Amino acid sequence: MKEKLQQVELLILDVDGVLTQGEIIYADDGSQLKVFNVKDGIGLRLLMEAGIQTAIITGRSAGALNARVKNLGIPLLLDGISDKAKALATIAQKTGIPKEKMAMMGDDLPDIPVMKRVGLSIAVADAASEVRTFADITTVRNGGCGAVRETCEAILKAKGLWNDAIARFYR
């Protein structure tokens, strides 16, 4: 598994249930709220600073997601996607990164078409049982509760980049 983690050049994330705990929150005017995790955000920044790219594929869309994506500086957001495998092809074309060097984090059935096409598939701890069965790795933490941070650390540690990534905090 360490070898698979070492080869990751791009981490693709689902949103609801991966970057969040899976809450779909509506206000009375039909607008949405999204609840993200601060430690996931720091993990993604360390990952991107170390040169690993990031992208998001999600079936839904929300201004609340756009705000978080902009805040984190994730360059590729493919939202409102019904066919996630097609979105994966778009990412491969835009980045020039081969699918074997991509990882996908998912929590439910619509993520499987992407998970089966990339080099490394990761399920969050509270993913649907089919997704956990399908994935190469299942995280210890639940979606929205640090599963993304855990994955960022695992990639950086497998590549031997973690100690350098955090060295500046100890100066």
The answer to whether residue 17 forms part of the interface with a second copy (CB under 8 A) is yes
The HSE-up count of residue 39 (CA atoms within 13 Å, CB side) is 12
Does the protein bind a second copy through residue 140 (CB under 8 A)? no
Phi, psi of 121 (to 5 degrees): -115, 135
* Dist. CA 143–CA 169, nearest whole Å: 26
SS3 assignment, position 56: strand
Q: Does 51 bind a second copy (CB under 8 A)?
A: no
**Residue (93 or 129) nearer to a second copy, CB:** 129
- Nearest distance, CB of residue 27 and a second copy, angstroms: 5
Decide whether 9 or 150 has the Cβ nearer to a second copy.
150
Q: Least distance to a second copy from the beta carbon of 80, Å?
A: 12
Query: Contact, 131 vs 107, CB < 8 A?
Result: yes
Query: Nearest-CA neighbor of 58 among 37, 28, 34?
Result: 34
Which positions from 112 to 131 touch a second copy by CB under 8 A, shown as an x/- string? xx--x-----------x-x-
**Distance in angstroms (rounded) separating the CA atoms of residues 48 and 163:** 15
Of the candidate residues 8, 9, 12, 36, the single one contacting a second copy (CB under 8 A): 36
Residues of this chain that interact with a second copy (CB under 8 A) are: 16-17, 22-39, 41-42, 62-68, 71, 107-110, 112-113, 116, 128, 130, 149, 166, 169-171
